Amino acid sequence: AAGVIQSPRHLIKEKRETATLKCYPIPRHDTVYWYQQGPGQDPQFLISFYEKMQSDKGSIPDRFSAQQFSDYHSELNMSSLELGDSALYFCASSLGRQGAGELFFGEGSRLTVL
Amino acid sequence: AQTVTQSQPEMSVQEAETVTLSCTYDTSESDYYLFWYKQPPSRQMILVIRQEAYKQQNATENRFSVNFQKAAKSFSLKISDSQLGDAAMYFCAYRSRFTGNQFYFGTGTSLTVIP
């Protein structure tokens, strides 16, 4: 069965550079979530989209933006990168906005900021 | 906002033995979902088991079962016949059924399985 696809899997950037992460949800899933997980930490919710509209916003910095496209894939854009942005970024998808149960996670994109 | 608490940062269990991971949560809602996710060293989060709050029966998935105590807001995970492949971080998570789609994760419990 198809899973959540994230790209790139690994990314190395310099401070103040820009990075873009992509997420392709499971087919027919209409809701996408982005999480940030620092070393040894639990995942922190950044933002979510339902039917291409932002549905919830968590601890996403103003330097970050995201959107969901017509094919339901989502992109997380990160600008003016800081060392503290180094983390594993998870995308997850689900079917339906509410009451749909579990999230299905991708394998994550590991961002290293030097 | 809802909070999820895992009070055991680390746990260990002998292979083939049973271990219980604790989770408590705080909510004013009456209907919600609870989950246990496993994050092995490969880092992908994998769903282990889910519980719907309106169901009184404890969920079971093979060697994994939960003890759901709604009044106490407790949701522990029991792993029976522990295997080396069970070694991972385990996250307890909460999701409201009606008031939004955020997942709230606990801080995780690192499980070591001793051969």
Q: Is the dihedral of CA A29, A33, A37, A41 positive or negative?
A: negative
Q: Cβ of B103 and A103 within 8 Å?
A: yes
Q: Region B22-33: what's the mean pLDDT?
A: 92
pLDDT confidence tier of residue A99, bands split at 50, 70 and 90:
very low
A26-50 pLDDT, tens digit each? 998 888 999 999 988 888 989 999 8
B42-73 pLDDT, tens digit each? 678 899 999 999 888 999 999 999 999 999 99
- Which of chain B's residues have a Cβ under 8 Å away from the Cβ of A90? 45
Q: Answer whether A105 touches B (CB < 8 Å).
A: yes
**How high does pLDDT run on average in chain B?**
92
